Amino acid sequence: EPEVTQTPSHQVTQMGQEVILRCVPISNHLYFYWYRQILGQKVEFLVSFYNNEISEKSEIFDDQFSVERPDGSNFTLKIRSTKLEDSAMYFCASSEARSSKEKLFFGSGTQLSVL
């Protein structure tokens, strides 16, 4: 079964450093998403991406965050200057179509720890 792949599974960084979280969405999917879950909290939407541009973003997704699809397979989330409160599990997801919310496939996540 096709799956969304995220690397690395764990990332430890110092506050103020830049991090890039990587994702390989399912190959025929066109819509890409980042969500995050702070420990003990709900899974929160960060951003959706389609046709090489952001289609929707939350208020969490401020100027410190950016997303990119640098080639035909990868989808990345960059945090320019990490803060302690960025520590969370970051989930990438993809879907074939925007309306296919039940066909949204999540990766296993990257646990980001900011020290």
Partner 1 sequence: DQQVKQNSPSLSVQEGRISILNCDYTNSMFDYFLWYKKYPAEGPTFLISISSIKDKNEDGRFTVFLNKSAKHLSLHIVPSQPGDSAVYFCAASENRDDKIIFGKGTRLHILP
Which member of 33, 77, 86, 87 binds partner 1 (CB under 8 A)?
33
Q: By CB under 8 A, is residue 109 in contact with partner 1?
A: yes
CA angle 42, 93, 74 (to 5 degrees): 135
The β-bridge partners of 35 are 45, 91
- Centroid of chain to Cα 55: 14
Q: By CB under 8 A, is residue 110 in contact with partner 1?
A: no
Which member of 25, 26, 48, 77 binds partner 1 (CB under 8 A)?
48
| 3-class DSSP assignment, residue 14 | coil
Q: By CB under 8 A, is residue 99 in contact with partner 1?
A: yes
If the CB atoms of residues 23 and 79 are measured against partner 1, the closer one turns out to be: 23
Give me the 53-82 binding string for partner 1, x by CB under 8 A, dash otherwise.
Answer: --xx-x------------------------
Q: How far apart are CA 103 and CA 47, in angstroms?
A: 17
Contacts of 111 (CB under 8 A, 6+ apart): 9, 10, 11, 88, 89, 90
Token readout for 63 is 């100027």
If the CB atoms of residues 13 and 44 are measured against partner 1, the closer one turns out to be: 44
Binding stretches for partner 1 (CB under 8 A): 4, 31, 33, 35, 40-45, 48, 55-56, 58, 91, 93, 98-99, 101-109
